[in-house]
């Protein structure tokens, strides 16, 4: 799934982790994503996801991809 998201990461000029975090916080009803970091650089990178605004069609595509792994009906 993540390999399929690489073009989206390039489109938004971000890392895959930033893309995944941005997608997570864009889900209805969610306002926060808990992300681990071992180093300050990891925390700084994770925080960069907050500046990403993903297009509705990209959000929908990512949700569909994620649902192929696990149903997201509770989200």
> Mind listing the pLDDT tens digit for each residue in 1-11?
889 999 999 99
46 near 21, Cβ under 8 Å? yes
> Where would I find the beta strands (DSSP E) of the chain?
none
> Mind listing the pLDDT tens digit for each residue in 28-58?
998 888 998 999 999 999 999 999 999 999 9
> Mind listing the pLDDT tens digit for each residue in 62-73?
999 988 887 655
CA Rg, the chain, in Å?
12
Taking the model in full, what pTM does it have? 0.85
Q: Where are the domains of the chain?
A: 2-67
CA distance 65 to 59: 10
| Residue 66 tokens, joined | 């994620």
């Amino acid at each position: 799934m993540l390999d399929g998201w690489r073009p989206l990461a390039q489109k938004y000029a971000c890392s895959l982790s930033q893309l995944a975090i941005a997608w997570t916080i864009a889900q209805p009803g969610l306002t926060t994503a808990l992300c681990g970091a071992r180093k300050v650089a990891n925390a700084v990178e994770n925080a960069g996801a907050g500046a990403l605004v993903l297009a509705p069609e990209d959000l929908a595509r990512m949700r569909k991809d994620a649902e192929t792994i696990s149903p997201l009906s509770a989200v």
